[in-house]
């Protein structure tokens, strides 16, 4: 059986999902799989043109809504959330799942800040999603049992990332910025699970990481993903330990659709860097409740808001 349909309902008609950073890569293939099962999907990204191309490349573009904004900019996040909540009067407008996929994979060599004065990688990979989730939970835009999927990585296990200097003001390297941001998403996901359980388990918070997913091993999708011949040749040398982004997206897909997941789980490739999605674990620091509470409160102080799972009520 195709790995994409081994888990979760094959028919997602009537269900609605939000996938950030879905104009290409993991986000696109996650959205494409959801749409292929009949789900309505809102996709986000910075470029309206690229989002429209991505929507057109799905099997059912009529099921896709594009919402362009920059997840790193808090004002834009707030405006996007207001747009989503403004549509909340329509039937079936609440989300059955949110995939917090948007992120910077190749960080800048030098430290940069957003207009809010936040280190850009942290703002993109972590804080923007925290702020967006805050508005969605306070606005009760998630259905009962909805899955919130945070994008993790194996990167934290390859570094000494510890989140003592979250914005790396004391010393910046692109690798540490990326690894710390990925550790932070996992810490927030597990802390989110603790808080969701304490609030009555109305939603589920999970982690998914795609292993080593590369563009050169990914199928060509005109207008969305068109790697050069050189990129394909180079990445083919890594095929023994890597996979395409279409395969890496299956971890996110399972996390957001598998009804057997209760929250707090981490979905990983079976062979660490590649393979079918299976239950695994996040970096060991992700389970530290003191670190989770500290990072949650720090993000709340920067965003001026925090996810409120107690605001969730049953949705039909």
pTM across the whole model: 0.94
Name the band, by pLDDT with cuts 50, 70 and 90, for residue 315.
very low
Name the band, by pLDDT with cuts 50, 70 and 90, for residue 4.
very low
| Region 282-296 average pLDDT | 97
- Report CA-CA distances (Å) from 202 to 94, 146, 262, 312, 315: 13, 7, 11, 6, 10
Distance CA 159, CA 91 (A): 46
Residue 313, pLDDT > 60, answer no
Name the band, by pLDDT with cuts 50, 70 and 90, for residue 265.
very high
Q: Provide the mean pLDDT of the chain.
A: 93
Cα distance between the two ends of the chain: 31
* Residue 163 CB neighbour total at 10 angstroms: 17
Name the band, by pLDDT with cuts 50, 70 and 90, for residue 257.
very high
Q: pLDDT above 90 covers what percent of the chain?
A: 87
Name the band, by pLDDT with cuts 50, 70 and 90, for residue 213.
very high
Name 251's Cβ contacts closer than 8 Å, sequence gap at least 6. 208, 209, 210, 211, 267, 268, 269, 277
Lowest mean pLDDT among 35-49, 88-102, 242-256, 299-313: 88-102
Residue 1, pLDDT > 60, answer no
Summarised one tens digit per residue, pLDDT across range 46-100 is 999 999 999 999 999 999 999 999 999 999 999 999 999 985 444 447 999 999 9
| Region 143-160 average pLDDT | 93
CATH number, domain 3-311:
3.40.50.720
Which pLDDT belongs to residue 87? Answer: 53
Which pLDDT belongs to residue 2? Answer: 47
Summarised one tens digit per residue, pLDDT across range 227-238 is 999 999 998 999
Phi and psi based region of residue 131 (left: phi greater than 0; alpha: psi -120 to 50; beta: remaining): alpha
| Region 190-210 average pLDDT | 96
Residue 314, pLDDT > 60, answer no
Residues with catalytic function: 178
| Region 24-52 average pLDDT | 97
Specify burial of residue 2 (Cβ count, 10 A radius: 0-12, 13-18, 19+).
Answer: exposed
Distance CA 94, CA 144 (A): 9
Q: Identify which of 210, 202, 160 has the alpha carbon closest to the alpha carbon of residue 183.
A: 160
Would you tell me the crossing angle of helices 128-138 and 174-198 to the nearest 10 degrees?
A: 20
| Region 254-280 average pLDDT | 97
């Amino acid at each position: 059986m195709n790995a994409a349909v081994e888990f979760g309902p094959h028919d997602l008609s009537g269900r609605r999902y939000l996938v950030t950073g879905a104009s290409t890569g993991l986000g696109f293939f996650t959205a494409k799989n959801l749409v292929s099962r009949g789900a309505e999907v809102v996709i986000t990204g910075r470029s309206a043109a690229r989002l429209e191309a991505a929507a057109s490349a799905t099997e059912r573009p009529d099921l896709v809504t594009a919402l362009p904004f920059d997840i790193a900019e808090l004002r834009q996040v707030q405006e996007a959330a207001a747009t989503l909540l403004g549509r909340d009067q329509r039937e079936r407008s609440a989300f059955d799942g949110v995939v917090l996929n948007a992120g910077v994979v190749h960080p800048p060599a030098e430290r940069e800040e957003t207009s809010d004065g936040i280190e850009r990688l942290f703002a993109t990979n972590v804080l923007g999603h925290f702020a967006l989730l805050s508005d969605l939970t306070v606005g009760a835009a998630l259905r009962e049992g909805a899955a919130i999927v945070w994008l993790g990585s194996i990167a934290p296990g390859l570094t000494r990332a510890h989140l003592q200097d979250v914005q790396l003001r004391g010393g910046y390297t692109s690798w540490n910025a990326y690894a710390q941001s990925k550790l932070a998403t996992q810490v927030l996901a597990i802390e989110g699970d603790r808080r969701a359980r304490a609030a009555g388990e109305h939603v589920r918070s999970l982690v998914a990481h795609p292993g080593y997913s590369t563009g050169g091993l990914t199928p060509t999708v005109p207008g969305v993903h068109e790697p050069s011949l050189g990129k394909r040749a180079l990445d083919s040398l890594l095929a023994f330990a890597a996979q395409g982004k279409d395969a890496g997206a299956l971890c996110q897909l399972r996390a957001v659709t598998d009804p057997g997941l209760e929250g707090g789980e981490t979905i990983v490739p079976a062979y660490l860097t590649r393979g079918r999605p299976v239950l695994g674990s996040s970096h060991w620091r992700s389970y530290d409740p003191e670190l989770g509470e500290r990072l949650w409160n720090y993000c709340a102080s920067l965003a001026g808001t925090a996810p409120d799972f107690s605001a969730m009520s049953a949705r039909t």
